[in-house]
Amino acid sequence: MPPALSYPALRCISENLEAVKRMHIACRSPSFGRIDKSIPINMNSVIVDCQSVTFNNLTVEFYYNDQLLFRYQNDRQKTVMQRIPETMTPFKSIDRFFDYFLKGRKIINVDFLTARYIPGYLIPPVFRINQLETILASFTDYLPIVDSCSFPLKRLSTPIDEVEIFTHPVFCSAKSLRFTVFENEVIGLNDINKLICKNVEFGSNSLLKMDIVELIRYWEKNGKEIGTRYIFSQDYDGHIEDEISGLKTKFDGFIDDLEGINERFLPSSPRFSIPINSKSRICLYGIETDSIDRSQLIISVMPTNSGKETSALITDYSSCNTSDL
C-alpha cells in the first residue's frame, strides 16, 4: 500500500484540482472536507444570479415545483433534480447551497466573475478575481464581494448611472473597459478625457451620447498615446455605416485604405487615417463582428508607419476580446 499523501502534497493537488470535482470529493470525504476550506480554490468562472449560481460548468438553479436543478455542462450534459423542503424558499435554497460550498473559505480565486445579484451571505466571503462583469447595476454595488488584491482588474464590464464613475480608482485602473451609459446620461469630452485605460469599448447606442468629431479634433490638437483603441458598438449595422458616412464630410481629405491593418472592414464604408504628428495617426473605420446585425466603429491611435508595429498592435487588441453585455 503506498504511503499517505503529506499535507503539503495534498494541498498542492487540491489547489490545482478542478473546482467542481473538488467540491464533489469534499462532500463525500469527511476527512478531506475538514481541511478543504483552508486550501485556496481556483475557478475559471462564477455567475451569481437571483435564482441560480454557476461554478465553472455546474449550474444550480431553482426550478418550478419547488425543485433544484443541477446541470453539469459537459459532453453528456448531465442534469439532476432535487426537491427542496417545503419550509425553504427558492432564494434560501440557493443561499444554502452557495453558503455550504463557499462560506468559510480563506481564498477564492476566480478568473471571471459575472454578477447579477448580491446575496447577503457573500459578505464577508469575497472573491479574488481578474475580470468582473456586472449586468443590472454599476460595479460599485459589487465591490464588497471583491478582494482588494484583485485590483487593478484585467477587464471591467459594467453599466454606469453617472459619469462621476469615470474618476473611480477601480474604473480608472482597469486594463480593459466596457461600459454602457444609462439613457439619462450624456458623455462629454471632459468625461472621456478622464479615461486612463487605453482599451475601451462603449456599449450600445453610445454614439448617440457623444460627439465623435469633437473627440478626434481634440486628439489631433493634444495628441494621444499610441495603442489607444476605442470601440463603439451598435445594435444594427446601419447606424454605424451612417455615422461613418457622416464623418466623410468632416475628414474627406484623410480617406485611406489602411493597408497593413488586418480587420474585417465594413466593405461599403470609408476608412480614415488622420495624422497627429510625425509618429502617430488616428485610424477610424468600421468592422463586422460575429454577432448578427451588429457592427463596430473603431478609433485607434497607431504608428505612422503601418508595418510590423501596426500588425503587433492589432494582435494585442485581438487578445483583449470584449464580449457583449
Phi/psi at 53 (nearest 5 deg)?
Answer: -145, 140
User: Residue 244: inside a domain, yes or no?
Assistant: yes
| Residue 21 burial by Cβ neighbours in a 10 Å radius (0-12, 13-18, 19+) | exposed
d(CA 114, CA 131): 8
User: Residue 89: inside a domain, yes or no?
Assistant: no
- Any idea what the Cα angle at residue 294 is, between residues 291 and 295, rounded to 5°? 110
Domain tally, the chain = 1
What does the pLDDT read at residue 184? 67
- Show the domain range for 299: 166-325
Q: 313 Cβ partners below 8 Å, 6+ apart? A: 226, 227, 300, 302, 303
Instruction: Work out the angle between the directed axes of helices 237-248 and 212-222 (0-180°, nearest 10).
Output: 50
User: Residue 121: inside a domain, yes or no?
Assistant: no
Q: Which of 119-133, 155-169, 187-201, 306-320 has the lowest mean pLDDT?
A: 306-320
* Per-residue pLDDT tens digits for 254-300: 999 998 898 999 888 999 999 999 999 999 999 988 876 578 899 99
User: Residue 270: inside a domain, yes or no?
Assistant: yes
d(CA 80, CA 60): 10
User: Residue 179: inside a domain, yes or no?
Assistant: yes
User: Residue 254: inside a domain, yes or no?
Assistant: yes
Q: Which of the pair, 305 or 148, is modelled with greater confidence?
A: 148
Mean pLDDT across the stretch 230-250? Answer: 82
Mean pLDDT across the stretch 308-315? Answer: 49
pLDDT above 90 (res 170): yes
Q: 174 Cβ partners below 8 Å, 6+ apart? A: 152, 153, 154, 155, 156, 197
pLDDT above 90 (res 120): no
Distance linking the first and last C-alpha atoms of the chain: 53
User: Residue 42: inside a domain, yes or no?
Assistant: no
User: Residue 44: inside a domain, yes or no?
Assistant: no
